[in-house]
Amino acid sequence: MKYTIKSKQNNSKMCLVCGTDNNLSLKARFYETENDEVVALFTPRDHHQSYPDRLHGGMASAILDEIIGRAIMSRYEDTVWGVTAELTLRYKKPVPLNQELKVVGRITSERGAIFEGSGEIILPDGQVAVSATGKYLKMAIDKISSKEFADNEWFLVDDETPVDEVEV
Ligand SMILES: CCCCCCCCCCCCCCCC(=O)SCCNC(=O)CCNC(=O)[C@H](O)C(C)(C)COP(=O)(O)OP(=O)(O)OC[C@H]1O[C@@H](n2cnc3c(N)ncnc32)[C@H](O)[C@@H]1OP(=O)(O)O
């Protein structure tokens, strides 16, 4: 399936998943799609492994958590953020290291202050390696971060060739 990209989301400095200044981070980039999903591109490295040649399950969980959390930001143009209350994963196939992978996430329901979402890590051959569903509490940014932090550590990384389309 081809996803047409609407916009790129911000990265942070120190987040384990999207932190540009964190050497251990997955350094994932996130894109909002025309069909209200969020797609991420990331390349897991050797320091993210569990058993040899496979991504640690906790890291797989981290990127799936973040993609669902970011799907709510997309819906509310960054005025609503998600705090994870529950996350359930199904590890179907090992996730390889040192090759670019795709992750897709979306909101599946909203009820008051709670939203639910789902996401998948997709292997280069198109198979789903890990899937997740999660339940989150909506939060305003001032309940999570100071304005100073947001101003200094949440920014658009625009040093790459623009991505217009992602095929999953
Ligand atoms: C500028 C910034 C840069 C940022 C830089 C980069 C970051 C860019 C990434 C963005 C995307 C991140 C995505 C990853 C997001 C995390 O990783 S967040 C980190 C991990 N999660 C946490 O730390 C959460 C820790 N837990 C908590 O803080 C609290 O337990 C919670 C989840 C806020 C709930 O608080 P609480 O006091 O229990 O809430 P409470 O008032 O009792 O309940 C509120 C409502 O929720 C319901 N509820 C609570 N828990 C549940 C549940 N598990 N199931 C169902 N209902 C529930 C209650 O029933 C209640 O409902 P109502 O009665 O109002 O109808």
Would you list the DSSP string of 30-53?
Answer: EEEETTS-EEEEE---GGGBSSTT
In three-state secondary structure terms, 106 is strand
Q: State whether the beta carbon of 32 lies less than 6 angstroms from ligand 1.
A: no
Give, using CA atoms, the residue closest to atom 9 of ligand 1: 66
Encode pLDDT of 1-58 as tens digits.
888 999 999 999 999 999 999 999 999 999 999 999 999 999 999 999 999 999 999 9
- At residue 77, φ and ψ (nearest 5 deg) are 50, 50
Confidence category of residue 121, pLDDT binned at 50, 70, 90: very high
What is the CA(115)–ligand 1 centre distance, in A?
A: 10
- Can you read off the two tokens belonging to residue 77? 């143009």
List the chain domain ranges.
2-160
Confidence category of residue 163, pLDDT binned at 50, 70, 90: confident
* 134 pLDDT above the threshold of 90: yes
What is the CA(58)–ligand 1 centre distance, in A?
A: 19
What pLDDT score does 3 carry? Answer: 86
Q: State whether the beta carbon of 154 lies less than 6 angstroms from ligand 1.
A: yes
What is the CA(112)–ligand 1 centre distance, in A?
A: 13
What is the CA(142)–ligand 1 centre distance, in A?
A: 14
- Mean pLDDT score, 123-135: 97
* 152 pLDDT above the threshold of 90: yes
Q: State whether the beta carbon of 15 lies less than 6 angstroms from ligand 1.
A: yes
ipTM: 0.91
Pick the CATH number of 2-160 from 3.40.50.150, 3.10.129.10, 3.30.420.40, 3.30.2290.10: 3.10.129.10
